[in-house]
Amino acid sequence: MHAKHLAAVVVLLGACGRPAGVPSPSPIPTAEAVGPESNVEALLAGLSTRDKIAQLVVPWIPGTYAAYDDDGFERAEAWVDSLHVGGLIVSVGSPLDVAAKLNRLQRRSRLPLLVGSDFEGGTSLRLNGGTLFPPNMGVGATGSDSVAYDVGRITALEGRAVGVQLCFAPVADVNNNPANPIINTRAFGEDPEQVGRMVAAEVRGLQDHGMLATAKHFPGHGDTETDSHVALPVISSSWARLDSVELVPFRAAIAAGVDVVMSAHIALPALDSGRVRPGTVVPTILTGLLRDSLGFHGLIVTDALNMAGVADAYGAEAGVRAFLAGADLLLQPADPGAAIDAMARAVARGEITPERLDRSVRRVLEAKKGLGLFAGRTVSLDSIPAVVGSAAFERDAAAIAQRSIVMVKDSAGVIHGLGRARPGLTLVTYAEEENRTVGLALAAELRARGFGVTLARLWPASGAASYDSAASALRQNTTALFATADRPIAGRGSIGLPAALAALVAHTAQERPTVLVSLGNPYVLSGLPEVGSYLIGWRSNALIERAVARALAGAAPITGRLPIALPPSYPRGWGLQRRVP
């Protein structure tokens, strides 16, 4: 675009759509007399120090519907109108609600907003109605780089349709610790090379289709038993171990041209002269290792700065410490205004130099320019239903889900016999209370395929009466089917089945033909040696539950292979294969 056209667009977009009674901000500096390559420099030169700092701050907003005079929405408007923040991270909501909210805020913003979201394993994690996929570990079970690319492709197209340009994915962690309470199925697997291939493929899928990809959580969050949302994990691995395992996928992402890398709030004493502090604030990690050694020249974004792993130690100063360590974008501070104030004080006392500040702001403005946001920052609401959750995307996702299913064991042939015998089944499901639909699609698909299904449902809060009721339901049929949706949840700090459920599964497996299906944490089998038939579906959503039902009924092949080892008996790459005649 020619400089004069860009200048006109910037001025028009800075003012359009402003509601009555809202004062116009001071004009954005223009660059009418310079070439296109100098527009960012002209914009940068025209920003005050405080506005430069604000360009680096990315607060969190909900994606749910809100009236314009809602307190929460007015707070977000104030961040845009008064603080002049450079971006936002948007959470769960419907595609239309998210897009309408972002359009409104984009129109009010002096400079276009860089909007990010946690689209791990597709947009459905944040967009109600987004295309459903298996999580990364399920993608890893397909063994296909092209599947990872397609997940990135569809995610980018759906995300851009609602006004999100920055995807906080893919996860580049190597999940080599079965007790990890926060990564688990969010990782592609435990083999660094395979994870690296999948990460690189998803990066290309995202960025080929107009969305910035983020490799996270640098330098690797896979080998920890602590959730950084609630405390500071410490990884005591040596440099040699980190170099040969954790860093491999990040090298692959950088080689694939990843635009963004996210820091992890984990302590790595081997990289920090024995100190125990979050890597997000360590210059030798973000600058020395990531920038200098690995040669990454894109944007570095912090993980959320309100997480206990960093907030407990530094409070509002966390952003300053992260910036000095090498970060560019300060994600989700507890108080955006306080974060800007802290950065401004650091500039005033000379701790942050103007040159260092300009380097980060320049990267942010260049990213916005590269995304085309100065040419158009809003999206068409009418076009969203033609993209998000489209039938074509759903067909692709259904094929991926079917390929992700892994049959780990079937020692008594129960799974192999289901398709022929069509026995009556008692399906017992377990999930967090908010996952109210778990098992419903599985039961419906099995019934449609000729199975009689009795459904019993358990939750973390279920007591003795609920377990007695489930045991009674199990006695009504010859075959038992358990579907567990244990999964990593931020802030919970642990993972695994409750003792009462494990005891019920073990007891049932000794009494009658029993199949255990994991719709989440795959490691649950390790504590249940009594189970003779085990299938992994990776996530509890309707798409995958239907794929599991087809696999159980013998209507679809089972071709997935473990991207992780399941102690004590099943190595990475294991998977019983079943073809359909």
Find tokens 């995307």 and name the residue: 393
Tokens (6 digits) for 396: 């692709």
**Which phi and psi (to 5°) does residue 225 adopt?**
-115, 15
Do β-strands 260-263 and 299-301 pair in parallel, antiparallel, or remain unpaired? Answer: parallel
The pLDDT tens digits for 272-281 are 999 999 999 9
Percent above pLDDT 90 for the chain: 84
Rounded Cα gap, residues 71 and 126, in angstroms? 22
Find tokens 């005079």 and name the residue: 69
Q: What are the structural domain ranges in the chain?
A: 3-17+49-386, 405-552
pLDDT value at residue 29: 39
Do β-strands 299-301 and 406-410 pair in parallel, antiparallel, or remain unpaired? Answer: unpaired
Nearest CA among 441, 451, 449 for reference residue 540:
441
> Three-state DSSP class for 506?
helix
Give the DSSP letter of residue 281: G
- pLDDT grade for 182, boundaries at 50, 70 and 90: confident
Rounded Cα gap, residues 248 and 199, in angstroms? 10
pLDDT value at residue 493: 66
pLDDT value at residue 392: 98
Q: Give me the amino acid identity at 359.
A: R
Nearest CA among 459, 405, 450 for reference residue 138:
405
Give the DSSP letter of residue 95: H
What is the mean pLDDT of the segment spanning 98-116? Answer: 98
Rounded Cα gap, residues 494 and 490, in angstroms? 9
**Which phi and psi (to 5°) does residue 364 adopt?**
-65, -45
Q: Give me the amino acid identity at 487.
A: R
Rounded Cα gap, residues 539 and 190, in angstroms? 18
What is the mean pLDDT of the segment spanning 462-489? Answer: 95
Q: SS3 letters for 159-212?
A: HHHCCCCEECCCECCCCCCCCCCCCHHHCCCCCHHHHHHHHHHHHHHHHCCCCE
Tokens (6 digits) for 312: 């407990």
Rounded Cα gap, residues 499 and 501, in angstroms? 5
Which stretches of 405-476 are DSSP H helices?
A: 414-421, 440-448, 464-474
What is the mean pLDDT of the segment spanning 429-438? Answer: 92
- pLDDT grade for 491, boundaries at 50, 70 and 90: low
The pLDDT tens digits for 123-149 are 999 999 999 999 999 999 999 999 999
Residue 21, pLDDT > 60, answer no
- pLDDT grade for 309, boundaries at 50, 70 and 90: confident
Give the DSSP letter of residue 263: E
Is the CATH code 3.40.640.10 the one for domain 3-17+49-386?
A: no
Widest CA span of the chain, in angstroms?
82
Nearest CA among 393, 396, 520 for reference residue 147:
396
Residue 512, pLDDT > 90, answer yes
Q: SS3 letters for 378-400?
A: CCCHHHHHHCCCCHHHHHHHHHH
Rounded Cα gap, residues 240 and 248, in angstroms? 12
On whether the CB atoms of residues 91 and 364 are closer than 8 A, the answer is no
The least confident of 107-121, 331-345, 432-446, 492-506 is: 492-506
Instruction: Find the radius of gyration of the CA atoms of the chain.
Output: 25
- pLDDT grade for 17, boundaries at 50, 70 and 90: very low
Q: Give me the amino acid identity at 142.
A: T
Kindly state the helix (H) or strand (E) to which residue 299 belongs, with its residue range: strand 299-301
Residues acting as catalytic residues: 229, 303
The pLDDT tens digits for 364-417 are 999 999 999 999 999 999 999 999 999 999 999 999 999 999 999 999 999 999
Tokens (6 digits) for 365: 């403005």
Residue 345, pLDDT > 90, answer yes
Residue 9, pLDDT > 60, answer no
The pLDDT tens digits for 36-87 are 445 999 999 999 999 999 999 999 999 999 999 999 999 999 999 999 999 9
On whether the CB atoms of residues 318 and 288 are closer than 8 A, the answer is no
Nearest CA among 264, 338, 268 for reference residue 85:
338
The pLDDT tens digits for 261-272 are 999 999 999 999
**Which phi and psi (to 5°) does residue 483 adopt?**
-125, 110
Tokens (6 digits) for 280: 């997000």
**Which phi and psi (to 5°) does residue 570 adopt?**
-120, 115
What is the mean pLDDT of the segment spanning 88-108? Answer: 98
The pLDDT tens digits for 228-243 are 777 888 888 899 999 9
Q: Which fold has domain 405-552?
A: Rossmann fold (3.40.50)
Tokens (6 digits) for 53: 């700092």
Rounded Cα gap, residues 203 and 213, in angstroms? 6
Nearest CA among 213, 112, 100, 114 for reference residue 155:
213
* Percent of the chain as helix, strand, coil, to the nearest 5: 45, 15, 45
Q: Give me the amino acid identity at 354.
A: P
pLDDT value at residue 219: 95
pLDDT value at residue 15: 35
Sign of CA dihedral 99, 105, 110, 111: negative
